[in-house]
Amino acid sequence: MKKKYLIIAPTPWELQAILDVFKPYMSLKKHPFTIHLCRHDHVEVNIYASGMGVASTAFAVGYAMQNFHVSELVLMGFGGITKDRSNLLGKMTIAASDRYLKFGAKSHNGFEDLSIKYDLLCDHNNKPPFTFHSHPWMHDMYESLHYGTCDELSSSEPDLDFLSKVYPDVSVENMEGAACAQIANLYNIPCIQARAITNMVANRDTKSWLMEQAKAEISNFSKHLLSYWTQLK
């Protein structure tokens, strides 16, 4: 079967950097999404904005699995980095894994992560951390890190302390990745996540975020991805 690819991005800012590279030949309104259709040689790609957060992302990926043939799924977006990896500010990274953060309950022993204790979907071995697919060239160009997905981004020193104590391996904070991987995993679809780092985790001064650098990184990643896909037979 001919390979068809899907790229999703949470917001219009990330999406536009991708579309500028893939240059859609047509855009279709398929409520609630606008699907951008792209074709380069033998490569066919559907691209759309998934929306922010785990619920929007899970719905967007589930919609794709029900309506399109998807050979490979790519999620591109922005992310925040922990202070021990500040050298990656303004750079692109790829996900080795992603997991839900603060998915559980506080207890007398600290915090009990229920996503690890219980299967997220009974009898499907659907537990984080979810591992991500990647291609060899990505590891030559980008740092592969462990990501964490949250509903509420860290914004204080107590948040940072919690993150470092409960999830010491997590370097990149985001709001969509684990949901994307969870649904892709259920359908056995290879999933790649790439995040351009705009800010330090807990820095809520958005005026200081490296948005333009991050968009340029998404654009460059898109160019490499398209080049790789067009070389595949």
Domains located in the chain, CATH noted: 4-231 (3.40.50.1580)
Q: What is the pTM of this model?
A: 0.94
Mean pLDDT in the chain? 93
- pLDDT tens by residue, 35-63: 999 999 999 999 999 999 999 999 999 99
Write the DSSP string, 34-98. EEEEEEETTEEEEEEE--SSHHHHHHHHHHHHHHS--SEEEEEEEEEE-GGGGGGTT-EEEEEEE
Q: Measure the CA–CA gap between 192 and 171, rounded to whole angstroms.
A: 17
Residue 121's pLDDT band, with cuts at 50, 70 and 90, is: low
Q: Give the list of residues 6+ apart from residue 36 with CB closer than 8 angstroms, or none.
A: 19, 22, 24, 26, 27, 46, 47, 48
Give the C-alpha distances (Å, rounded to integers) separating 74 from 13, 93, 206: 16, 13, 26
DSSP code for 10? S
Give me the sign of the Cα torsion angle 204, 155, 175, 196: positive
**pLDDT digit string, tens, across residues 142-179:** 999 999 999 999 999 889 998 999 899 999 999 999 99
- pLDDT band for position 102 (50/70/90)? confident
Q: Phi, psi at residue 232, to the nearest 5°?
A: -75, 145
* Secondary structure of 120-179 as H, E, C letters: CCCCCCCCCCEECCCCHHHHHHCEEEEEEECCCCCCCHHHHHHHHHHCCCEEEEECCHHH
- In this structure, the number of other CB atoms found within 10 A of the CB of residue 118 comes to 12
Q: CB count, 10 Å around CB of 113?
A: 17
